[in-house]
Amino acid sequence: MKHKNIFVACDTSNLSEIKKIIKQTQTTKLKIVPKFGLQFFYSKNGRKFLEKFKKDFWLDLKINDIPQTALSAIDSLKDLKRCKYITVHTNGGLEMLKAIKKKTKSINKSIKVLGVTVLTSLNNKSLKEIGHTKSVDQLVLKQASLIKKSGCDGIVCSAQEAKMVRRKYKNLYIVTPGIRLPGDSANDQSRVMTPSDAFKNKVSGIVMGRSLIKGNIKNNTQRLIDHLRQ
């Protein structure tokens, strides 16, 4: 099962909790890579911790700004040597995506730039409230075309759209959040799926938060291993 890409969402600003999550999700059965989002990165000790972190990690900042500001943001991260994945938001447009990919490549060729599409907390009703006229599926496909055209490495979308995206873009790196173990609550997510079902939809990797880090982390990690063996 080590070939399956699993990312654990380290969604806390508490440094002790972060260290606990990282330590207790380590297993010889799976390769689980930590994903750090805004909550930890913006915290007092978050940035300092990542400067010295000795393992590969994903920095989930969902960068979304005018191209020059986005480039400056990427440039400010070049000291984070073990950062292997970084997210940008497709709402920033094609030129921003192209610029970020080019800049990132000049800093570290091994970093994958992943374009975030429709957040998994949103649904068709939410999109209408924002002002979109397209459905979730239509918008994700449109955003996927921008990501592909920009040269970015992959896409972040829900597992429900992954099969549709994979059908059109055979080699795109597809990562899906909104993943829950069977029986776990969806919480604030609208478009969720189990790990095994997500991999059946031919995703490249999955992001797991609450199902792994809430409660007994070691037990939750074993539940994931058992689930994927079925």
Q: Is the pTM of this model over 0.85?
A: yes
Chain centroid to CA 123:
18
Handedness of CA 186, 11, 3, 62 (dihedral sign): positive
Angle at 187 between CA 141 and CA 220, to 5 degrees: 100
Rounded to a whole number of angstroms, the distance between the first and last alpha carbons of the chain is: 12
What pLDDT is recorded for position 121?
Answer: 85
The residues carrying an active-site annotation are 62
Angle at 81 between CA 76 and CA 86, to 5 degrees: 65
What pLDDT is recorded for position 1?
Answer: 60
| Token digits of residue 92 | 């920033």
Contact 123, 160 (CB under 8 A): no
What pLDDT is recorded for position 142?
Answer: 96
Which domains, from first to last, does the chain contain?
5-229 (3.20.20.70)
Give the count of beta carbons closer than 10 Å to the beta carbon of residue 19. Answer: 12
Handedness of CA 91, 94, 69, 42 (dihedral sign): positive
What pLDDT is recorded for position 185?
Answer: 76
3-class secondary structure, 73: helix
d(CA 22, CA 33): 8
Q: Which of 70, 74, 58 is nearest to 8 (CA)?
A: 58
Transcribe 99-134 into DSSP letters. Answer: HHHHHHHHH-TTPEEEEE-S-TT--HHHHHHHT--S
pLDDT tens, N- to C-terminus, the chain (230 residues): 667 899 999 999 999 999 999 999 999 999 999 999 999 999 999 999 999 999 999 999 999 999 999 999 999 999 999 999 999 999 999 999 999 999 999 999 899 999 999 988 888 999 999 999 999 999 999 999 999 999 999 999 988 899 999 999 999 999 999 899 998 876 666 677 999 999 999 999 999 999 999 999 999 999 999 999 98
What pLDDT is recorded for position 36?
Answer: 98
What pLDDT is recorded for position 192?
Answer: 79
What pLDDT is recorded for position 208?
Answer: 95
